[in-house]
Amino acid sequence: MVKTVFLKNYRPYFFLLLFTACVLTLISYSLVAADLYVHLPLEDARLYKNIFFIIIVAASFVYGYYLKKQREKLQAIEDYDLKIATHIILYRKRILWGFLNCLLACILFVIIGYKTFFYFALIDVVMMLMQFPNKAVFNKELNDDEIEYL
């Protein structure tokens, strides 16, 4: 049996979320550059910035741990079809996580106006780009030399 992964099945979802994240980042930057964001008092803005920063970092660590456990479960699966189905779900969750991080960063950038959140949004877009569905990314996760990528 030839094991194949059709990369074209992964790409529409990836491009949809990547394009949306890029548009949201540009819109949020445009709103803040045009001075159309919520002007919070400096003390409140700093407080919100710190609270949301801690929440984002903590959630990222928790989600990173969750992804690590899911990858370990993926490696333990012997059945190829089940492994690919599980991988599709895991891949989509990872891309969605990057998109949601970008969305939250854009919202916070528009609400608070701190460029830190704009940089977070840009970093999330770059991290999404690094997950472009290709052979290198999938080889690392599926860990199977017999797979052909189409």
Report residue 44 as tokens.
């409140």
Q: What is the pTM of this model?
A: 0.87
Euclidean distance between CA atoms 27 and 90, whole angstroms: 29
Give me the tens of pLDDT residue by residue for the chain, a chain 150 residues long. 677 777 888 889 999 999 999 999 999 999 999 988 877 787 888 888 888 889 888 988 999 899 889 888 888 888 888 888 888 888 899 999 999 999 999 998 998 888 888 999 999 999 999 988 888 877 777 777 777 777
Measured over the CA atoms of residue 90, residue 91, residue 92 and residue 93, the dihedral's sign is: positive
Residue 132 phi/psi, 5-degree rounding, is -55, 130
